[in-house]
Structure 1
Amino acid sequence: MDISSTSLLVGLVVVLLLFVRWRRKTYRLPPGPPALPLLGNILTMDNRAPFKTFLKWSETYGPVMTAYLGTQRVVVLVGYDTVKEALVDNADDFVGRAPVPFVLRALKGYGLTISNGERWRQLRRFTLTTLRDFGMGRKRMEGWIQEESRYLLDAFRETKSHPFDPTAYLSRTVSNVICALVFGQRFSYEDNNFLRLLQIFSGVLRFGSSSWGQLYNIFPRLVELIPGKHHQIMDELEEIKTFSMGKIQKHKETLDPANPRDFIDCFLIRLKQEKDIPNTEFHYDNMTATVLNLFLAGTETTSTTIRYALMLLIKHPEIQEHMQKEIDAVIGQDRSPMMDDRKSLPFTDAVIHEVQRFVDLVPLNVPHYAIRDIAFRGYMIPKDTVILPMLHSVLRDKDHWDSPWTFNPKHFLDTNGNFKKNPAFLPFSAGKRSCVGESLARMELFMFIVTLLQHFTFSCPGGPDNMDTTPEISGFANLPRKYHLIATPR
């Protein structure tokens, strides 16, 4: 490279750096680490666990800071007070959802998860109302979970106390609950098509949490041009969309508007009612995408949390034994648990809450977005900025948890052993974008875990010391390592 070319390159770099500094000054951006042109801060980040890097940077730059993922500006919110002030106290400002490239390509902007504006408002209102009408958080749903629990118990008994990987068992069980809500049916545990879909779900979550998945979201156009796992994942997502569209078509052919059977029926009825409204959000693209949202989110997040729970109970057998004694005293081993039992099982309830806190399933939160300029804590967050209200920093906030880095059920117990709430318990996020399936997930976690402990004691080959509870992947989600457990009938 000759001297003139070198000088031109250096000049270009200087101009870009000055531009970044000018933008920061013009908009009163929150402080943050120096960023390289085009690459941003990615070379100095832990790509296996980016939330750790953000947490470390916050020690220098404070609880509201700016970073760059490639050319994308990101404002990171750290700590319970900061996250609550944004998502709850200033909910309308922080209601936007970021156009995550991977999800955007898969769903074309349709559905509930990453939509904004009127589309999001209408779909969220409709989804919450419909799921509640079909039992989410109510007695009807309790019966479905109890029924599915019996299938799970039978499957565990068939292992005859031999070591096995619980992943597929738990995915099938949890997914069948959301299938009852969305499709109006459960699937056999031996249904190969069902098992194939669950395998795809697991792969999607792993890809989204991997370094390659994060790279896709930072440089989507570049990554699209090269071979990689992302092409396979997109093809597999088309399989799920085809499956969902097939279910929608069968519902359409058998629809009785006077007797809706499930979420799909209700959406079809609304679609027909608004067919003459030009800008309606109730059309097939939004229906297919929302069904996919519910199907995926309603399967992987809860089943992964239960898998973590069993891992932690094996790691801490004294806690498992304490739970079993409490469950035996209150419920016994002959009847199914009900949600009304929870208030009589304070230790068990505390453990389940602590599992969610300690697991820290979605450490960065699902990204928010500035759909307009936002004034926050003396700074200006410009329109089109990605916002990460870090749930990890809330669930590990040392001002709200006595021992944030250890698994400790006492975080949710008072001195008399009664259950106590903690405002920093936000595994489902907070504000207007909190998880629509929160009440369903809470029911499933409580009822499935209690049912399993009624009937089995869990251990693993090699004993508790052989159980590694550190995540295998910590990108979008903290995903547990594969392990084998032994379910010994009680």
Structure 2
Amino acid sequence: MISVGGLVAAVWRALHLRSLLLGAIVFLLLANFFKKRLPKNYPPGPPSVPFFGNFFQLGLKEPHLTLQKYVKKYGNLFSMEFSAWPTVIVTGLPLIKEVLVHQGHHAADRPLAPIRERTFKRNGLIMSNGQEWKEQRRFTLTTLRNFGLGKRSLEERIQEEAHHLIQAMEEEKGQPFNPHLKINNAVSNIICSITFGERFEYQDDQFQEMLKLLDDVIRLEMSLWCHFYNTFPRIMEYIPGTHHTLFKKWEKLKSFISRMIENHKRDWNPDDTRDFIDAYLREMQKHDGNATSSFHEENLIFSALDLFIAGTETTSTTLRWALLYMALHPEIQGDHDRDQSDCAAQGPQRVGHP
């Protein structure tokens, strides 16, 4: 038989536990509220839930369709929240140009998502900030211009690579095929010729593996596990999932860049700069012994990796969309053929700006 004193003690313990639990919940909600207080001029956006924000509203399979829905409701400038990450979304070319070009100095220093910080830390061209970013960006732009960026010599490289791509497509003999990796290879060869000093054959197994890894990391970063990692990074470090696969694939990509750098070191001549890696090695030599310099091998690895990614994925994706639109609208191809025929019939013409 339970005594009155024991019953009171049991009830008190239960109430005490509930009070602690309720107090903890109230504390977390208040902490979340005060942490997410935003400026008065902060853009409007869909309502969010504590801790998760708009994570489950985005739609992981087709997030672009969800964003289009919010554009119709809130306009070309609106906000969303992903866990601890308040996010401002900008759409529409005029507004994007205003933000990134005319007001670019306000958008230069952005926080890193945990999954990117885990992979890149704050190295390279894209993930660095402040003075380090300015130094790396200035050096890279100068070097790329020296190797033909914006000049006719680069146009000739593109035309040559386009010829190789056409040959690879003709080998399919008119049968249906997926042009994804062929286009990736062609586009990537342009930046590879500048960064690594060589182009790769479309049958090069090692390079095909690198292109496949690049596709994989971009796809995996959109997975549910990686979204959870960005929301709860410390917890997700101990939970198995595709985010760990992503980290392994990033390491393989970094190893590929490291091998290219080691190959360059073997026959490097500071008086004969063949490509971006050679130029960076010479810059590292200039700053040798300067502990505060941002020109070190880890930054070289990540800068070359940034160029490899940026010079492959975006242009390749744009070209594949262009092919898709042409396939869906064959009348455009017919109009182009007729225009070409008309031009040929009229003979040589002067082409220039009006």
* TM-score grouping bracket, smaller chain normalisation: 0.7 to 0.9
Structure 1 residues 52 and 152: CA distance shift in structure 2, 3 A:
closer
- Alignment map for 1:207-246 (pairs within 5 Å): 207-246=220-259
TM-aligned CA distance change 1:329 to 1:147, over 3 Å = farther
RMSD, matched Cα: 2.9
Query: Cα gap change, 1:217/1:23 in structure 2, threshold over 3 Å: closer, same or farther?
Result: closer
Whether 1:43 and 2:56 are equivalent positions in the alignment is yes
- Among 16, 25, 28, the alignment partner of 2:40 is 28
CA-CA distance at 1:32 after TM superposition: 4.2
Rounded to whole Å, the distance in 2 between the matches of 1:144 and 1:320 is 26
Structure ID, larger Rg: 2
SS, match of residue 89 in structure 2: strand
The superposition leaves residues 371-401 of structure 1 with CA deviations (integer Å, 9 ceiling, x where unpaired) of: xxxxxxxxxxxxxxxxxxxxxxxxxxxxxxx
User: Which of 323, 328, 331 is matched with 1:318 structurally?
Assistant: 331
1:170 is matched by which residue type in structure 2?
I
Q: Which residue of 2 aligns with 1:13?
A: 25
Offset of residue 138 of structure 1: 1.2
Q: Residues of 2 paired with 1:100 and 1:163: CA distance?
A: 40
- For the 8 Å contact 2:120–2:127, the answer to whether it is kept is no
| Superposition map of 1:272-291 within 5 A | 272-291=285-304
Within 2, Cα distance between the matches of 1:202 and 1:307?
Answer: 14
**Paired residue type of 1:156:** M
The residue correspondences of 1:256-335 to structure 2 (distance < 5 A) are 256-327=269-340, 329=342
Distance 1:26 1:168, change over 3 A: closer
Separation (CA, whole Å) in 1 of partners of 2:36 and 2:111: 21
Cα deviation for residue 325 of structure 1 reads 3.1
Residues 344-366 of structure 1: CA deviation (Å, up to 9, x unaligned)? 8xxxxxxxxxxxxxxxxxxxxxx
Query: Counterpart of 1:254 in structure 2: which amino acid?
Result: D
What is the Cα deviation at residue 328 of structure 1? 5.1
> In the alignment, what sits opposite 2:182?
169
Structure 1 residues 262-294: Cα deviation after superposition (integer angstroms, max 9, x where no partner): 111110111111113221111101001011111
Greater shift after overlay, 145-154 or 210-219? 210-219
The runs of 5 or more residues in structure 2 that have no matched partner are: 1-12
1:107 is displaced (CA, Å) by: 1.9
| Alignment deviations for residues 447-482 of structure 1 (CA, whole Å, 9 cap, x no partner) | xxxxxxxxxxxxxxxxxxxxxxxxxxxxxxxxxxxx
Higher strand share: 1
Aligned partner (choices 175, 189, 203) of residue 190 of structure 1: 203
SS of match in other structure, 1:189: coil
1:55 is displaced (CA, Å) by: 4.9
State the 1:200 CA deviation: 0.3
Q: Which residue of 2 aligns with 1:99?
A: 112
Relative to structure 1, the CA distance from residue 329 to residue 280 in structure 2 (aligned partners, 3 Å threshold; closer, same or farther) is farther
Residue 165 (structure 1) shift: 1.0
Q: Which has the higher contact order (CA 8 A, sep 6+)?
A: 1
TM-score using structure 1 length: 0.62
Q: 1:19 to 1:247 in 2, by over 3 A?
A: closer
Q: Which whole-Å CA distance do the structure 2 matches of 1:62 and 1:152 have between them?
A: 41
SS in 1 for 2:104: coil
Deviates more, 1:45-54 or 1:219-228: 45-54
Q: CA deviation at 1:103?
A: 2.3
Residue 96 of structure 1 aligns to a residue whose secondary structure is coil
**Pairing 1:255–2:268 present:** yes
Which residue pairs with 2:87 in the alignment? 74
Instruction: Determine if contact 2:121/2:127 at 8 Å carries over to the other structure.
Output: no
Q: Helix, strand or coil: the match of 1:251?
A: helix
TM-score w.r.t. length of structure 2: 0.84
Partner residue, 1:479: none
Find out whether 1:122 has 2:135 as its counterpart: yes
Aligned position for 1:435: none
Q: Would the aligned equivalents of 2:32 and 2:51 in 1 still touch at CA under 8 Å?
A: no
Alignment of 1:339-350 (within 5 A): none
**8 A Cα contact 1:29 1:66, kept in partner:** no
How many matched pairs?
337
The structural deviation recorded for 1:75 is 3.2
Paired residue secondary structure (2:312): helix
3-state SS in 2 of match to 1:92: helix
Q: Give CA-to-partner distance per residue, 1:113-164, whole Å, 9 cap, x none.
A: 1110011101111111111110112111111112112211111111111111
2:4 matched to which residue of 1?
A: none
Aligned-pair identity in percent equals 37
Aligned to 1:149: 162
